Amino acid sequence: MGLLVSDYDGTFLTTNKIDLIINCRTIEKYIMDGNYFLLSSGRPYDSIMKQIKKHNIPYTHLAASDGTFLFDSQNNLLKAGRINKEILEIIDPLVKKNIHEKIQFSYSRFDTDIYIEKENLGSLALVVKENKIDKDFLKLYDQIKANYLNYQLDIYGHNGTYYFEIREKGINKSSPIEYLRKLLEINKKKIYTIGDNDNDLEMIRDYNGFMIGNNEKLEEVALGKYNAVHELIYDIQKKKVLKRW
């Protein structure tokens, strides 16, 4: 019994549509053989669910918003991060710079650009175009990061857009994996991860992690590189995969 964890955009979903079809078929067999598959995305729940339904992607678990929310195959919420309303006051100096495209508030079932007090806020992100980021903004962001240690602040870039994310301390794509490892009593040696972007670093570093594409940060922690998720599954099944332990 093993656990495979894959990022979605740029990893499970690439520009090669054939790989997506093969990935789905291979994952389906992997699950039928008694294993678990966690699809882990930076996308909020509603966005990644649209992709799952569109491409009929099989999974046993789903992590959304960079590990903030964890669901089972019946879409029951298993684990959720929480940040308080005070975060709005904390980031107010950043907001007043008025260089962001929007503020993305992530809740368990949806994200929105409006703060909803009655909902439990899991995380938020200031979405900023690369050409609008200046030194003063970055300095202010770093000051907030240094002063509020009970929050986790990360910066992720994708296609010329940067996400200045704020979450509960200790939450990243690795945290729902550790939760499942304990819940399902999975041997850490049998947990495999694969991703392509900076937000996949922790889960690649902490487990038998692999990468797709070119990313200098991931190359420092990944055991190896694949062109598609189904290639990794093939090596796992044939017991040819590299392991960290």
Domain(s) labelled CATH 3.40.50.1000 in the chain stretch across 3-80+172-237
Question: With contact defined as beta carbons under 8 Å apart, do 35 and 27 qualify?
Answer: no
Distance CA 106, CA 64 (A): 9
Domain(s) labelled CATH 3.10.28 in the chain stretch across 87-168
Architecture of domain 87-168: Roll (3.10)
Which CATH number fits the domain 3-80+172-237, given the four candidates 3.40.50.1000, 1.10.10.60, 3.40.50.300, 3.30.70.2740? Answer: 3.40.50.1000
* Per-residue b or e along 14-27, where b marks 16 or more CB atoms closer than 10 Å to that residue's CB: beeeebbebbbebb
- Report the candidate in 1, 26, 3 with the shortest Cα–Cα distance to residue 228: 26
Distance CA 73, CA 60 (A): 5
Contacts of 244 (CB under 8 A, 6+ apart): 207, 208, 209, 223
Global model pTM greater than 0.95: no
Would you give per-residue pLDDT tens digits along the chain (245 residues)?
A: 999 999 999 999 999 999 999 999 999 999 999 999 999 999 999 999 999 999 999 999 999 999 999 999 999 999 999 998 999 999 999 999 999 999 999 999 999 999 999 999 999 999 999 999 999 999 999 999 999 999 999 998 878 999 999 999 999 999 999 999 999 999 999 999 999 999 999 999 999 999 999 999 999 999 999 999 999 999 999 999 999 98
Question: Using the 8-state DSSP alphabet, how is residue 228 labeled?
Answer: S
Question: With contact defined as beta carbons under 8 Å apart, do 61 and 72 qualify?
Answer: yes
Distance CA 33, CA 78 (A): 24
Distance CA 152, CA 39 (A): 22
pLDDT in tens, 168-201: 999 999 999 999 999 999 999 999 999 999 999 9
Distance CA 67, CA 64 (A): 6
| SS3 category, 12 | coil
Phi, psi of 43 (to 5 degrees): -70, 150
